[in-house]
């Protein structure tokens, strides 16, 4: 099964796991998650997210209540996963930017989330591809992606 999950498919999913799947559909493919938690990104209890962690796969899946609990985000933290045939986890910021330029994926935006004397945390985002790269101490340690958007509020579910 793990080999089938290798390919990051922008706007679509990861291998056979596709955005828009229900929790039951994902369980048929991946089985039960190592752990699951429900939380809200805001102060409201009206926009809940359920986060499933598959520790052995170094994979996290988010299902949003607002989208009828369908799969809305995938995060990976292992060098195993590839984007366009290239393994990116573990690269430093400069090498990551060079690879993204080679892949010609889109316009890159960089945002610094570092806290003074605590940690060096940076987000490299390609908004039109719904793709984010998180670097800690200048090393890529997480890739996150979502379905594409039709407009600011509407997801473009893969067919």
Task: Provide the domain count of the chain.
Answer: 1
Buried b (16+ CB within 10 A) or exposed e, 131-149: bbbbbeeeebebbbbbbbe
pLDDT of amino acid 113: 77
The whole-angstrom distance between residue 55's C-alpha and the CA centroid of its chain comes to: 15
63-94 pLDDT tens trace: 999 999 999 999 999 999 999 999 999 999 99
93-148 pLDDT tens trace: 999 999 999 999 999 999 887 666 656 889 999 999 999 999 999 999 999 999 99
Phi-psi region of 85 (alpha: psi -120 to 50; beta: other; left: phi over 0): left
Boundaries of domain holding 30? 2-156
- Cα angle: 122, vertex 106, 149; to 5 degrees: 90
The whole-angstrom distance between residue 56's C-alpha and the CA centroid of its chain comes to: 17
Please report which confidence band the pLDDT of residue 33 belongs to, taking 50, 70 and 90 as the band edges: very high
Domain at 29, CATH number: 2.60.460
List the one residue out of 122, 127, 85, 77 whose CA is nearest residue 102: 85
Is a pLDDT exceeding 90 seen at residue 3? Answer: no
Q: What Cα–Cα distance (Å) separates residue 27 from each residue in 5, 34, 46, 52, 58?
A: 14, 12, 25, 10, 16
């Amino acid at each position: 099964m793990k080999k089938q999950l290798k390919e990051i498919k922008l706007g679509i999913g990861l291998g056979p796991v596709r955005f828009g799947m229900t929790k039951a559909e994902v369980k048929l493919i991946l089985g039960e998650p190592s752990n699951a938690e429900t939380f809200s990104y805001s102060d409201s209890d009206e926009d809940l997210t359920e986060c499933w962690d598959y520790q052995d796969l170094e994979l996290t899946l988010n299902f949003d209540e607002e989208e009828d609990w369908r799969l809305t985000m995938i995060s990976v933290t292992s060098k195993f996963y590839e984007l366009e045939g290239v393994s990116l986890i573990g690269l430093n910021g400069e090498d990551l930017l060079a690879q993204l330029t080679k892949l010609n994926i889109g316009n890159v935006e960089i945002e610094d989330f570092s806290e003074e004397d605590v940690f060096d945390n940076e987000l490299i985002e390609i908004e039109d591809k719904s793709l984010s790269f998180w670097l800690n101490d200048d090393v890529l340690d997480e890739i996150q992606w979502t379905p594409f958007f039709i407009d600011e509020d509407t997801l473009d579910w893969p067919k």
